[in-house]
Structure formats: C-alpha cells, structure tokens
Homo-oligomer: A and B are copies of this chain.
Amino acid sequence: MAFIQSNRMSGVSGSIIRELFKMTAAPDMISFAGGNPSPDTFPTAEMAAIANDALLHRGASMLQYGFTEGFSPLRDALKSYLKGKHGFPKEGDELITVSGGQQAADLTSKVLLNEGDAVLCEELSFVGVLNTFRSYGAKLVGVKMEPDGMNVADLEQKIQANPKAKLIYIIPNFQNPTGFTTSLEKRKQIYALAQRYDLMILEDDPYGELRYEGEFLPPFKSMDTDGRVIFGGSFSKTMAPALRVGFLVAESSLMKRMVVAKQTEDVHTATLTQEICYRYMTEHDFEGHLKDIRKLYAVKCKRMLDDMEQRFSPAITFNRPQGGLFVTAFLPEGMDAWPFVQEGIARKVACVPGVAFVMDPSVPSNAFRMNFSMPSLEQIDQGTEILGKLTYEWCK
C-alpha cells in the first residue's frame, strides 16, 4: 500500500541538511556545520545530583502526569527571572514551559495559521522553524536581512503585497544562521509596523543569553502593549539541548488555546527535565554558569572571526556577531555557495550552505554558515586555513 500524505506535509523536506550530515560524519572532518552547544558547558554533576535526589525523594510528583502548562516551580522561577531581566511577563501575559524552543513555533503555528496564511521571515532564517510553518501550509515570505535586522522598507512592502500576512518571525539576537542582531531602533520600527498592519510577532530567542560583547537589547515582548508578541525561550543553550525544555510567553487568552494545542501534541513536557532546570536555576549559581558559557564562547567566536579576517579572500563578506553560535559569510553576489561547501567538505571542512535557510530552495544562495561553539580553537585555525585558501581559489 502506498500511503497518501497530507497536503500540509508535501512542502516540507529536510534533505539537504540530512545529506550534509551524512557527508560530515567522517572522523577526520573539521565540522563548522553543527548547531550544537559545547558539551563543556553542561553542568552534568549538578544535574546528576538533582535527578537522583528528585527521583529518590519525590518520585511520585516527578513521575505522575503533570499539568500541560508546565511544572509550576519552574514556571514561577522563569517568570521572576524574566521579570527581573526584561520586565515581562506583564499583567495579562502567561508563561508555560514547552518541549524545547521548537515547540513554541509549532504551537504558535497550530493556533494562529490557516493554510495559505503568510509568515514574514528573515531571509535567511532557521530551517527548523521554517519547516514548522511549512508543515501547517503557511506561505513563507522572505524579508531582506541586514546586519542590524530586517530591511524595514522591504518588510512593509512584503506585508502590503500579502493580504494574508499574519505573523512576523524574528530571531532578534545573534540570528541563526546570520549571527545578525536586530537593533533597538529596528525593533521599534518593526513593532510599529506590526501594529499598523495588525500582525502577530513570534520572537524566537534561544541565543539571547549568549552575548559576548555590547549591550543587552530589550526584547520585542518587553515593548508589547497589545499582546501581539509571542516570546519563545529555551534551555538548550544555557543548560543542555537533550533536556528538551523551553518556554513561551504570550497574552493569556491566546495562551489558553496554545495549552489546548499542546495537550493534543504531547500532554505535557517531561517533569524530571523541568525539575533539573528549576533546581539548577534556583539552587546553583545560574548567573555564574551563564558567565562561564559566555567566556568560553567569546574566545571561540573571536578566534573564528579573527581567522576569517586574516585568511579569507577580501571578496568574502561577513559581519562580526556579538554573541550566539554562528557567523554567516557571503560569496560575491550571484555565486552559489553549495558547490563551494561541497568542495570544502572534500577538503575535510564542513559548513552549511545558505540554501538550507532560504524560503525557496530552488534559488541559489551565496551564503554559508559557520559554527564556532563545537570546534576547538585548533580546529577553528585549521578549518579556516583550508577554507581561506578555497575562498581565494573560488574568487579569483
């Protein structure tokens, strides 16, 4: 029997990245292709002690069905943490925990998007969430990206051209893949546009804590007076990804529908992993832990950028991210980065081609994404050396 898949799934494929990961699995490959945090940042001993204690002494509450809204102590800890740092959740907002930041995008899509609705996305943007939008039959509309965020004129023009525009999707800090951060000025302008055209904003902020230079900027959610911003956060980069714990802040009547949607998907997020986040946040030096992570990545980030400046052909352009896990470099306009990346892999250095992050993968992209959190400093030196030579060959 050949099954017939739903229309909504027919536009979703993950093949390029999958093919790529197969190619990069060779043991002598230097990989800048991943998006993983460094395992050196995982507080494993503390987590082991928390898990052991919680299961031994409060097993029933760790293991019985929990609330869809999340584990209450963690929700309370997150509310007070975000309130202190950013001034929200405000009156009329609610916070729930979710099964990783990805689920924040999924619940947003399920509750808000009809098939054919348009989502305005940074072009390039994170393929995982683009696929979530695709899986609900949404139309992706790419907005031109600049080092300080979306081109606002292009955003407005695209909104006007798409009467079914419903949602703006933004990764405001150290965006994946570009590493770009939306400036305060643009945050205000984009929020004003959302108001003018009555759009929702999904603010996806997995990297916000990972700032190595410059000033923290206020989230869209902190300037939200209308309940139109949905804020998604994650422990994947501040604790560990395989715990699969994230959180979501939204206006409470919208949140009620998201909770019903979550119930239909996975009932609730695992309690033990929420307990680990909760107790690490409240019983250990969470701020000190974040500082340590920033210190580790700051060194790798600087090394990657300095190496690129020294070794890459001047024909290659890139911006210096102030945080996050990634930098994206661009071949000269009109070139396709996919054969460049393939040649890099042949020489044992892997990156991700920009085509993985575009709205329409049939159009070539001149971008390639490089990750600096996973490789060692030595690997960064070796890999950029090899890629640097390749850029000179490619841009003769």
A-side interface residues toward B, CB under 8 Å?
A: 1-9, 12-14, 35-37, 39, 42, 44-45, 47-49, 51-56, 59-60, 62-66, 99-100, 102-103, 106, 110-115, 128, 131-132, 134-136, 198, 200, 226-228, 236, 240-244, 251, 253-254, 257, 260-261, 263-273
Contact = CB atoms under 8 A, between A and B. Distances in A.
20 contacts: A6-B113, A6-B136, A9-B111, A12-B260, A13-B260, A42-B64, A49-B52, A99-B244, A102-B264, A110-B135, A131-B264, A132-B265, A134-B264, A135-B261, A135-B264, A241-B267, A242-B270, A244-B270, A272-B273, A273-B273
B59 A42 contact: yes
Contact of A242 (B39, B131, B135, B272): B272
A66 to B, nearest CB: 5
A56 to B, nearest CB: 4
A39 B56 contact: no
A65 B7 CA distance: 29
Contact of A111 (B6, B64, B251, B268): B6
Nearest to A195: B1
Contact of A114 (B2, B7, B53, B200): B7
A106 B272 contact: no
Given A5-B112, A44-B63, A47-B55, A244 B268 contact: yes
A359 to B, nearest CB: 16
A130 B6 CA distance: 18
A260 B241 CA distance: 18
Total copies of this chain within the assembly: 2
B63 A56 contact: no
Which 9 pairs from chain A and chain B are nearest by CB?
A44-B59, A63-B240, A48-B55, A52-B52, A39-B60, A51-B51, A242-B271, A1-B226, A132-B264
B47 A48 contact: no
Contact of A264 (B47, B54, B106): B106
A131 B68 CA distance: 14
A265 B65 contact: no
B242 A66 contact: yes
Contact of A131 (B36, B44, B198, B260): B260
A266 B245 CA distance: 10
Contacts of A251: 1, 3
Contacts of A115: 115
Contacts of A265: 99, 102-103, 106, 132, 265-266
A228 B114 contact: no
Given A62-B242, A63-B241, A110-B135, 7 more contacts: A4-B112, A5-B257, A6-B114, A36-B65, A48-B56, A135-B261, A242-B272
B39 A63 contact: yes
B266 A100 contact: yes
Contacts of A131: 260, 263-264
A271 B276 CA distance: 13
B63 A106 contact: no
Contacts of A44: 55-56, 59-60, 62-63
A305 B56 CA distance: 34
B266 A99 contact: yes
A19 to B, nearest CB: 14
Contacts of A242: 62-66, 268, 270-272
A261 B55 contact: no
B59 A39 contact: yes
A261 B56 CA distance: 36
Interface centre among A6, A131, A132 (most CB of B within 10 A): A6
A51 B269 CA distance: 17
Contact of A267 (B2, B62, B100, B226): B100
A235 to B, nearest CB: 11
